[in-house]
Amino acid sequence: MRKIPRIVISGSYSGVGKTTVATGLMGAFRNRKMKVQGFKVGPDYIDTSYHTMITNRYARNLDTWMVPYEGILELFVRAFQDADIAIIEGAMGLYDGASGVDETGSTAEMARILNAPVILVIDASDMARSAGALVLGYQKFDPNLRLAGVIANGLGSTTHAKWVKDAIETHTNIPVLGTLPIRNKIKMPERHLGLIPTLERGELDSYFSTLADFIEENVNLDTISEIAQSAPKLPIQKSKIYPKKNKKKKVRIGIALDEAFNFYYWDNVDMLKAYGAEIIFFSPIHNEKLPDVDGIYIGGGFPEVLAAKLEVNKSIRQKIKKRAEEGMPLYAECGGLMYLTDSVINFSGKAFQMVGLFPGITIMTKKLEAMCYTLADVVMHTIIPRKGTKLKGHEFHFSTITNIPRDASFAYKMKLGKGINGKYDGWIEYNVLASYMHMHFGYDKKLVQSFIQSCEQYQRKK
């Protein structure tokens, strides 16, 4: 058994300020010289980027669709390592998930898996005594879930805060651990995929400092720490995702990481390291040369926003294309897929030249093209999943790809999700696999092993 102080920060529903609260708590505890490990329930990349920035530790995603139940605790315990407290930000509302009749995919489900106490964030801006009824409903909805405290957001005055606090504590006996006054400067900016990624924002140090101080002033950190400490010990998990001992380094894999490409599940990177890959980071924006590697991984991000800078760096685009044509394994997801097409047409209708490995044109759309979990049958062998595999993931994009040749090869037949053309995903050219689907390698360690084997085969032919 292992002692891991932990709390789940959930919202009564989306948009109540749980990301602000969770991120601010991480900063406030770090100001107390504590090592804080951040987690996010669900597939969201951007919230974890905030957690990473404010804690100076890579935040992790916990998702029961993309990772088997038995793997969640392994990922959680491994990521915690030498931290002092784990703060897990929920997704949507506490009980919202993949169904209206059970907890599947919800924050409540994750709290149960982690045996973690929950602190509920509510937006009390337009209520007073009704806040008591709201919290009572969440308490009674699942009496077996440990709802350990409430943080009320959006309060207009000290009198308003007192009414809300009295209503909740009188009718539920759940302590109100924080009352947050309205502060416009605390609000996080957004764009079409949600919050603006940390790598694009220059004022973050000041912003995070202000946020941490705001939480310190208005939230009872001592009691929250006590609640986290009261979480039961967790059982030691057998290694099912990671090897018991890291494998000897076999290959070098280049991972694109900069303002344009930064959507990665960090467990994917860690799993590649654990199974024998040396990771070399490079920037398609700032580096003219590719590092000496045996494979490439280009994750998601916002290439449409940085398209002009990506186009200007013609040198690295040409080198990526040349390496791919020579047979180097290359895996790309969503933004990475877009970067590998002929061009990207941004929201203003302006076209920018990209790598040109795939003969298609990426067009940004004003409507959300896909936001869902995905399920696919792998119908062709690839550098990562093999034929016959069932693959789970998710997709989230405001773009579509046109001018796709009729003879284009696709490895994934979609059972859930839209993919590239509504039926298929996983476009293949040479030893390149690119998809709108994002994968978490924790779904099946064979995905990592196959990628490394593909890189080894290329290495022997160089």
CB 124 within 8 A of CB 164: yes
Q: Which tokens in the block code for residue 70?
A: 């038995």
- The whole-angstrom separation of Cα 336 and Cα 340 is 6
Closest Cα partner for 389 from 412, 421, 423, 417? 412
Of these residues, 334, 378, 411, 420, which one is catalytic?
334
Name beta bridge partners: 123: 153
* Residue 349 burial class via C-beta count within 10 angstroms: exposed 0-12, middle 13-18, buried 19 and up: exposed
- What six digits make up the tokens of 176? 């109100």
**DSSP state letters, 326-393:** TT--EEEETHHHHHHEEEEE-TTS-EEE---SEEEEEEE-SS--EEEEEEEEE-S--SSSPTT-EEEE
AA identity, residue 66: M
Amino acid identity of residue 359, one-letter, is P
- What b/e string do you get for 79-115 counting C-beta neighbours within 10 Å, with b at 16 or more? bbeebbbbbbbbbbbbbbbeeeeebebbbbbbbbebe
Exposure of 123 in the CB half-sphere (CA atoms within 13 A): 13
Distance in angstroms (rounded) separating the CA atoms of residues 417 and 50: 28
State the Cα–Cα distance between residues 432 and 132, nearest whole angstrom. Answer: 55
Single-letter amino acid, residue 184: N
> Tokens for 310?
């990506």
The pair phi, psi for residue 61, each rounded to 5°, is: -100, 140
Tokens of 8: 């789940």
The reply to whether 334 belongs to the active site is: yes
Give the active site residues.
Answer: 334
